[in-house]
Structure 1
Amino acid sequence: MDVNRRAFLKGLALSGLAAATPGFASSSILADSTHALKGGVHLPLIALIHDSAGESAFLAGLRSAQQPQRSHDSLKVQRCDRGLDFLQSLHALLHSGKAAQIVGLVDDASGAIIVNMARPTAARLYWLGQHAVSGGQSRHTLLAAEAGHDCSRRFAQELDACGLRYRLTEQPVAGPAGLSQMTFTAPQTPQDGRWAAALGFALASLAANSTDPSPGVGNSTVAAPLLGNFVSFAFKT
């Protein structure tokens, strides 16, 4: 077992980020639906990204959901490399006392570290997802507070529009029953990075508390293949 894998498994034990099994995250770290997104449309949006191949697709999705009252300049991108500089920067952000919406799509090891660092702070996590993407199908396991439930539906709709094979399972923490499980079987189509664009749009819409219709970003984005295991999250500081 390599060092990165051991670090990830340690992170799983600490943060509860074990999406391969039911109850993959603790409901105690998820925000309640009443205050999670209040005023979020006026806050800066910070995107944490690790994989350079997926950066353009994910950012295209985020920017496609930008609202008129939230300028593109309010989107700040921070690359997550698990180095000391990044960890110090994230620690400062989480403890700054300044309100912000933070979303991200990172590798699974980085996801465990980020969620674990956010857990003891005042940050309110309302979306957590694990994404396993192979050449033939993507699998998405989501845990969402009630405030994040619409994001799951938007993500599923965007995946449908892309015409890619996927399996999506949502584990709602509170409120009405969620999607439970949704499977879309399309003709065998090689997976590419469009799923990341679809996710970016859904998460940015959630952060902006927007119900605007989709611009079809998944189909309009030319994205390089983005395969492997990833973690997505959304929280408000």
Structure 2
Amino acid sequence: MPAVAGSGRGLSMDVNRRNLMKGVLTGGTLLALGIPPGAFAGPPPGRAGRFGLLLGNTPMDAAFAAGIRTAYAAHANRAAGAGPALRVVKLKGGLLNDYEMVGGLLEKSRDTRWIAVMDDGSAAVFTELARNAGARLILLGSHASSNDDTTVRGGSPGIPGLRHVWAAASPSHSAGGILASQLIALVRDKGSFSIVENFFSMQAQADSDRAAINGFVPGFMTYRLDEPDTAAGTVELHCSGLSPANGCELLGWNRAGRWMPASQQISPHETAASVKKEERQPYSAGWVESVGYAVMAAALGTGALGESCSSRAFVHQSAGESREELPRVAERFTSFVIDI
């Protein structure tokens, strides 16, 4: 029998890695559906005692962290239970090299709400680590950009340049309205974007001071799906620069639904003034920074909706053929907010 090279610790690490990857095979499949295994076990999320930021060694780390810090500085003093400092952990070797360290970090950081940014491959591993640590998912986001924005070519919606899909525990930690208000001021007539939020619990935050701001975002016309069967909850569509039918086409939704107007559209020109006056919300320098801002604000409960909603989407299409493209490269990353 050939000799086994290496120490007992190395053998143990190999076994741990194999066990982890077995979990990733199943966890990664569920991640693709937006429902990590065991993520919604336990009591509903409340206020966090501490906050941490885990940077997964992606090209977006710096911009994402900048948005996180801006939102934390702007809103943490108004969030009960938020600590005086944001703990930041950087994975210099990436999660696949440091997964044991991250597993130990999660196990030892009880009463902490972690915000994390990962590439898609590391996200599947992080999901399994969070599940093993008994974490509860608050927010899971998939974010992508491309330079092949074809939304207005031929007058038919195609693929928006910026695409975001979130799975959230409830409307109490919504990020969509915050990001939409950031992006519509950033993009204006230079591109298009879509944001989809799906809530696994329809429990909203009662008497939210920010419900009107985050429910009806300036620059968008709001529609609600008129369906006789309301068991699945309210579905909202917020459109800017296109009709509900074209918005559904861009999102891949069924166009046959009947969408009833629920708000009057405020001109995009009024967006910045309106939001800054009511929210005192700083604007980000780029789309990744905007995502970081929205994720942190949602983690703090700033984006809480005051009414029940099962899903909603924001769709923006720039106006006219004269629009100029924003300089972008194809990028993808995953964001997390979890409670330990």
Long gaps (5+) in structure 1: 1-6, 187-192, 213-223
For 2:50, the aligned partner's letter is L
Asked if residue 48 in structure 1 is aligned to residue 79 in structure 2, the reply is no
| TM-superposed deviation, 1:202 | 1.4
Alpha-carbon distance in 1 for matches of 2:41, 2:241: 33
1:152-171 residue pairs with structure 2 within 5 A?
A: 152-163=176-187, 164-171=191-198
1:77 is paired with a residue of what secondary structure? strand
For 2:46, the aligned partner's letter is L
1:61-76 residue pairs with structure 2 within 5 A?
A: 61-66=67-72, 67-68=76-77, 70-71=83-84, 73-76=85-88
| TM-superposed deviation, 1:173 | 0.9
Instruction: Give the number of equivalent residue pairs.
Output: 204
For 2:291, the aligned partner's letter is L
What percent of counterpart residues are identical? 22
Match 1:82 to one of 74, 85, 95: 95
Match 2:302 to one of 193, 202, 210: 210
Alpha-carbon distance in 1 for matches of 2:234, 2:90: 31
Change (3 A) 1:109 1:181: farther
Match 2:46 to one of 32, 37, 42: 37
For 1:13, the aligned partner's letter is T
What residue number does 2:34 align with?
A: 24
Long gaps (5+) in structure 2: 1-19, 150-160, 204-232, 243-284, 305-326
Alpha-carbon distance in 2 for matches of 1:46, 1:149: 17
1:140-179 residue pairs with structure 2 within 5 A?
A: 140-146=164-170, 149-163=173-187, 164-175=191-202, 177=233
Asked if residue 132 in structure 1 is aligned to residue 141 in structure 2, the reply is no
TM-score where L is the length of structure 1: 0.71
Alpha-carbon distance in 2 for matches of 1:168, 1:12: 28
| TM-superposed deviation, 1:61 | 0.7
Asked if 2 retains the 8 angstrom alpha-carbon contact of 1:30 and 1:127, the reply is no
| TM-superposed deviation, 1:43 | 0.5
Alpha-carbon distance in 2 for matches of 1:199, 1:100: 21
1:25 is paired with a residue of what secondary structure? coil
TM-score where L is the length of structure 2: 0.52
RMSD, matched Cα? 3.3
**Alpha-carbon deviations, 1:193-222, whole Å to 9, x = none?**
82211111112112223369xxxxxxxxxx
**Alpha-carbon deviations, 1:56-84, whole Å to 9, x = none?**
2211111111224644x423132261343
What residue number does 2:122 align with?
A: 110
What residue number does 1:4 align with?
A: none
What residue number does 2:131 align with?
A: 119
Asked if 2 retains the 8 angstrom alpha-carbon contact of 1:142 and 1:169, the reply is yes
Asked if 2 retains the 8 angstrom alpha-carbon contact of 1:165 and 1:184, the reply is no
Asked if residue 236 in structure 1 is aligned to residue 339 in structure 2, the reply is yes
**Alpha-carbon deviations, 1:44-67, whole Å to 9, x = none?**
32232321x322221111111122
What residue number does 1:59 align with?
A: 65
For 2:293, the aligned partner's letter is F
**Alpha-carbon deviations, 1:153-205, whole Å to 9, x = none?**
2122222221241112222211065765556569xxxxxx8221111111211
For 1:93, the aligned partner's letter is L
2:334 is paired with a residue of what secondary structure? strand
Change (3 A) 1:104 1:97: closer
What residue number does 1:195 align with?
A: 287
What residue number does 1:14 align with?
A: 27
Alpha-carbon distance in 2 for matches of 1:142, 1:180: 15
For 1:160, the aligned partner's letter is I
Change (3 A) 1:78 1:183: farther
